Structures are given as C-alpha cells and as structure tokens.
Amino acid sequence: MSRQKTVIVSGATGGIGQFLCRRLRQDGYRIIILSRRAGMPPDIEADLAVCCDLMDAGSITAAGRAIRDACPTIDLFISCAGTISPQPAGTLDGEDVRRQVDTNLTGVILLTNEVLPNIVAGGRVLFVNSMAGVFPLAGSAVYTASKFGLRGFARALALELRPRRIRVTSVFPGSVDTAMFREEMEQGGSLLNFMSWPLAPERAAAWILGSARGGKEEHFPSLIDRIFPPLFLWSPVFLRLCLPVMIVWSHLTRWYYLRQQARG
C-alpha cells in the first residue's frame, strides 16, 4: 500500500488557495494548511490547520515545530500567501511596507526554511509568485520589489536543493479575479493588471497545479508573458515605447471587465 502524500499550503484561505486545496484533495493528498487564525477555517478542505503569521518570526518558528511534529515527511510545499497595498513612492506607509515585504518575501523565506528539513527526495517547493515578479508595476513599487525578491530566492534555492532531488518551481499567474484583486483595483492598483483578462480563481488553481507537474523552474500563462517582461527589463527604452499601446489595451480590457461585472 502506497504512502499518502502530504502537502503544506500557505495562503490556503485566499481566493486561489481554497481551490488549490480542493484539487489537492481530489488528487489524494493529506492537506495541512497555515492560517493566521487558530482553528480550521470554514469551506477549506484540509486535514489540519496550523496557526502561522508570516509577519511574526516567532509564529513562523512555532508553526515549523507543529508541522514537523505532524508531518514526518512532506511531499509538496505551496507558498500562495500574498498581500498588496498600492501606494506611490513618497507617500508610503511604513506599516504597509512591512506587511507587504514580510508577507510576500521575508515570511516566505523563513517558513520555507522551517519546512525544508522534512521535504522528501523527489518532493517539490512551489511558489505562487506574480507577473509583478518580472514586470515593474508603477504605483506598487513595494509589492514589485517583494515579488522580484521572491523570484531571486526561488532561483537560488533551486540550485541549493538540486543535490537533494527537491525541485523548486515558481508560477507567475496574471490577474486573478479574487477579492484581493478587486480591492487592489479599488485602491488605485496598476491599470496594467488588465493586460490580460482576470482569470477565475478555480482556473488559476488548475493551471498552477498543472504547471507544477512539469520540469520547468518557471511557468508563465503565455508565450508573450514569458518573452516580453525580460525584454522590458533588458531595455527600459523598449518598455517606454510599448507602454502607450499597453495602456490603451488595458483601458479596453478594464472597460469590458467592469461592464461584465455590472451585468452580474
């Protein structure tokens, strides 16, 4: 009889995380979720909930102990937690800066460090990043910085874990139609979020887990998403030339999205 595989999911209570757990349940995983609040959240399909606040190093250490006690072996670790507070530089709020950097980067690094000893050979670490990790979003510089940092951490980690036969994968979904996305746009989030149509969270979850089964270290929604962001980083002039067209396209997509939302 084969051993039941175990997955740790950080950010399971978010719009994408809930659907990740549903699909992982269908795949037969034992699911351990991390939540800032004690107890099992409603509507989450999981076997155990561990309290963990990514803004609190002590909480992360305690969560690591609880995970190791409950899970002698971990087959898959998914980091899906994230937060964003759009603010232009010069008006940044210190607490919002700390929350974004701790939740999107520092806390993820510390949590990964806690679970790594129990990940088995042949296991996988999966970071749900953002297109902001490869494309700068004006007005969301802190979020962009945290996601760029997460990409760098993942790529270095992949080199470190190769001798242990643990694969590290990063996925970069475009806009996903979650409560976080809608709140971001209400707060003045970048218009360029509408360069692609906001994906339903259940479809995003299916794409994320499907991508994780492959052998690539990084996965993007489309060939365009894989090619153009590196070109923009290589040549800021190229980005400035393309930006007017991207803005017009994003305006049209947002107009149609809002029209669809109004229709219900």
Under the banding of pLDDT at 50, 70 and 90, the label for residue 74 is very high
pLDDT tens digits, residue range 228-237? Answer: 888 888 898 9
Record the tokens describing residue 38, joined without a space.
Answer: 């004690």
User: Is the per-residue pLDDT at 45 higher than 90?
Assistant: no
pLDDT tens digits, residue range 118-168? Answer: 999 999 999 999 999 999 999 999 999 999 999 999 999 999 999 999 999
What CATH class does 6-262 carry?
Answer: alpha beta
Q: Which residue has the tokens 């219900």?
A: 264
User: Is the per-residue pLDDT at 38 higher than 80?
Assistant: no
CB distance 15 to 132 below 8 Å = no
Once rounded to an integer, what is the mean pLDDT over residues 7-14? 93
User: Is the per-residue pLDDT at 1 higher than 70?
Assistant: no
User: Is the per-residue pLDDT at 250 higher than 90?
Assistant: yes
Chain-wide mean pLDDT for the chain?
A: 92
pLDDT tens digits, residue range 161-183? Answer: 999 999 999 999 989 999 999 99
Supply the pLDDT for residue 41: 76
CA atoms within 13 A on the CB side of 68: 14
Q: Give first-to-last CA distance, the chain, whole Å.
A: 48
Under the banding of pLDDT at 50, 70 and 90, the label for residue 226 is confident
CB distance 151 to 170 below 8 Å = yes
48 sits in the region (left: phi over 0; alpha: psi -120 to 50; else beta) called beta
